Amino acid sequence: MAELPPRESITLHGMRIDRVTMEGTLECVASYIASGRPHHIVTADASMVMTYREDKEFAAIVDQAALITSDGAGVLWACKRLNLPVPPKVSGVDLSAMLVELSGKKGWRVFFFGGAPGVAEAAAQKMRERFPDANICGFRDGYYKPDEENTVAEQIAATKPDILLVAMGIPRQEKFILRQKERVGAKVYIGVGGTLDVFSGTVKRAPVWMQRSGLEWFYRIASNPNAARLKKLAALPRFALLTLTKK
Ligand code: UDP
């Protein structure tokens, strides 16, 4: 399959976001896997837009991404407010679940990487119960010493993944992807934040009414207010202010 042409995109506070649906994203995944080359998919939420503005190394990685989807109510709200065409929502959790669901039928090998010890394993077990033909080729936690990173990447490479879900939070996961994508040898890399915590049941998803009204981020912070989440929370008023004061 040939690689797909570039998509229509918008620029939100300097960061590109592609106007791509879930269906379009899955077509891209299929073409990336067929190409045999590494591709990075980014799912962008409001806190990521702020990190993009403040961390040059992170911004350079995002600029190189094959695809940037819109993940979250904050981005959709800002687009509406700024009269930008609103991109469809393709969240990291929904995309990851879809890829696992399709993995058996498509023959895609998916690796779960990240989260506290035991979380990736529990996530794999839960997803195999949900999708019995899921093709999960391996899992490991996201806690190791910096000098162990190459070894960790080699261990992942040995399982021959097509898709690597990296659940270590922004920007750690994106920087891992940049450094290790050639060594790991997968074709699709996605930084998926707390997705394995959700899959494993360690963190519950917000009630559907909260997901629909764009309040899932609030539920997740309120149900587990650790330092990383609070930092993320602090980025949101800055994102809102930036949006409201944009000329
Ligand atoms: N994490 C990890 N390794 C680390 C630090 C964090 O695997 O060195 C995991 C952590 O256990 C959690 C995830 O990264 O599962 C971060 O989730 P969060 O929802 O905060 O991510 P973000 O919103 O930044 O994408």
Q: Quote the tokens at residue 102.
A: 């399709």
CA gap 148, 145 in Å, rounded? 5
Give the residue-averaged pLDDT of 53-58: 97
Q: What pLDDT was estimated at residue 4?
A: 65
Taking the model in full, what pTM does it have? 0.93
184, 35 Cβ separation under 8 angstroms: no
75, 50 Cβ separation under 8 angstroms: no
Q: Quote the tokens at residue 113.
A: 């990487």
Cβ–ligand 1 contact at 92 (below 6 Å): no
171, 55 Cβ separation under 8 angstroms: yes
Give the residue-averaged pLDDT of 202-227: 82
Give the residue-averaged pLDDT of 87-107: 97
- Partner residues linked to 89 by β-bridges: 70
Domain ranges of the chain: 9-245
Residue 172 has pLDDT above 60, yes or no: yes
Q: Quote the tokens at residue 5.
A: 């042409």
Q: Which residue has the higher pLDDT, 42 or 246?
A: 42
Each residue's pLDDT tens digit, 99-115: 999 999 999 999 999 99
Cβ–ligand 1 contact at 22 (below 6 Å): no
Cβ–ligand 1 contact at 72 (below 6 Å): no
Q: What pLDDT was estimated at residue 208?
A: 87
76, 211 Cβ separation under 8 angstroms: no
- For the ranges 24-28, 194-198, 233-237, which has the lowest average pLDDT? 233-237
Query: How many angstroms from the chain centroid is the CA of residue 194?
Result: 9
